[in-house]
Structure 1
């Protein structure tokens, strides 16, 4: 375990390295952009100074009250640009943790048609409700059929087939479905982005 003074020295050294990198790039160290409705993103120097001041208060390296802590970390790790997402949650069948990182330039230039079928599968309210039910523990066709919002048994099976074909659901046994672990966090982020 390192002492507070050792951690402080390491942070001060990191500030010096970051400041030198920013200055070599020709950017002013203390610049920030703000609009009336959006708080300014603290400069790298300010963010690190805050981290140094609170080094003893944030035991275990827990994120502090900086609303842009994730963005600051992405900027630190991938200064040339990145699109990252991650999440962790507890579902009825167990914990899910997922993280992905993309090169934004490559993503912008990629073939977006590849995602059309997967996104189209989410464009129906019944399918979104099915995914929500499965995530919250209703995994069998028989239990899903009890929900009047889902329509007839034939309609239910049609929607389940669409979700399986698009990769949002997998059939784990006869009449039992699950959202694959690698789809849970992306699904919730899509829903969050669509509803914010």
Structure 2
């Protein structure tokens, strides 16, 4: 048997032993992620945070208007579970209307004024658009950028997209 063959056989045996250790019943250690390449962010979180764990949101986005958002936030599981979730109701409620979601999507694609938004099919009158804009501004999902333009604050772009991604599950 060549040295190369012996090394390959040894690597296989070590991999099998590691897999057995990771799947022992009654072991309190978290199992390794099935595909470390696919779950690279999760692997990084597991390496940094002990049980009971944490939730991490991260992303980088370049919008059609050239604005860039790079954002990350992590919170420990206990802190998140024990916090007052009701303080987030207004922000979530502001998103819970089809017209507001469409407004945010259009603004992220470059529409920025109420006049732009009134042109969206089925959006309604300018009064209705302003009502929705006020709700989104009050909840922090939009701010005025001057000249009658609205923008999603950079610090809210990735969290907004992460919320939408989370609804796919």
Contact 1:142/1:175, CA 8 A, preserved across alignment = no
Query: Tell me, which stretches of 5 or more residues in structure 2 are unaligned?
Result: 1-19
Say whether 1:182 aligns with 2:155: yes
Take 2:80 and 2:118, find their aligned partners in 1: how far apart are those partners? 39
Say whether 1:118 aligns with 2:91: yes
Contact 2:68/2:154, CA 8 A, preserved across alignment = no
**How far 1:170 sits from its partner (Å)?**
0.3
**How far 1:104 sits from its partner (Å)?**
1.1
Alignment of 1:124-143 (within 5 A): 124-143=97-116
What root-mean-square deviation, in Å, do the aligned CA atoms of Structure 1 and Structure 2 show? 2.3
Higher relative contact order (CA 8 A, sep 6+): 2
1:90 to 46, 52, 62: 62
Contact 1:139/1:177, CA 8 A, preserved across alignment = yes
**How far 1:32 sits from its partner (Å)?**
7.8
**Secondary structure of the residue that 2:68 maps to in structure 1?**
strand
**How far 1:140 sits from its partner (Å)?**
1.3
Runs of 4+ residues deviating >2 angstroms: 28-33, 41-44
Aligned position for 2:40: 69
Contact 1:32/1:42, CA 8 A, preserved across alignment = no
Take 1:32 and 1:183, find their aligned partners in 2: how far apart are those partners? 42
The number of residue pairs the alignment matches comes to: 144
Alignment of 1:162-181 (within 5 A): 162-181=135-154
TM-score by length of 1: 0.67
Contact 1:88/1:97, CA 8 A, preserved across alignment = yes
Contact 2:99/2:132, CA 8 A, preserved across alignment = yes
**Secondary structure of the residue that 1:150 maps to in structure 2?**
coil
